């Protein structure tokens, strides 16, 4: 999973270097709204798999993992990684 997250982050930064300030602002606004949706969806749930969140958001698993890890870095959620 770490490789997937790093790849998503690297790709995001690569795209960001080519985008305009306006597009970066729009993306950040969109991401904040998605984060609110994720937090509302997770409320009251003890444990949930990234695939379930991805289905709810209608996003790819890798995008969902990026968002969940961002929220974890900010202290909004706890993420547990397990090898299966």
Rounded to two decimals, the pTM is 0.72
Give 56's contacts (C-beta < 8 A, 6+ positions apart): 37, 41
Query: How large is the average pLDDT for residues 32-61?
Result: 93
Please list the alpha-helical segments (H only) found in 1-84: 2-18, 21-42, 50-57, 61-73
CB 66 within 8 A of CB 13: no
pLDDT at 10 over 50: yes
What pLDDT does residue 23 have? 81
């Amino acid at each position: 999973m770490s490789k997937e997250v790093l790849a998503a982050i690297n790709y995001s930064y690569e795209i960001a270097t080519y985008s305009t300030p306006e597009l970066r602002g729009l993306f950040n606004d969109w991401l904040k709204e998605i984060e609110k949706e994720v937090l509302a969806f997770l409320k009251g749930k003890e444990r949930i798999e990234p695939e379930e969140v991805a289905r709810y958001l209608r996003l790819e698993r890798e995008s969902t993992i990026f968002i969940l890890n961002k929220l974890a870095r900010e202290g909004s959620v706890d993420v547990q990684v397990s090898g299966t």
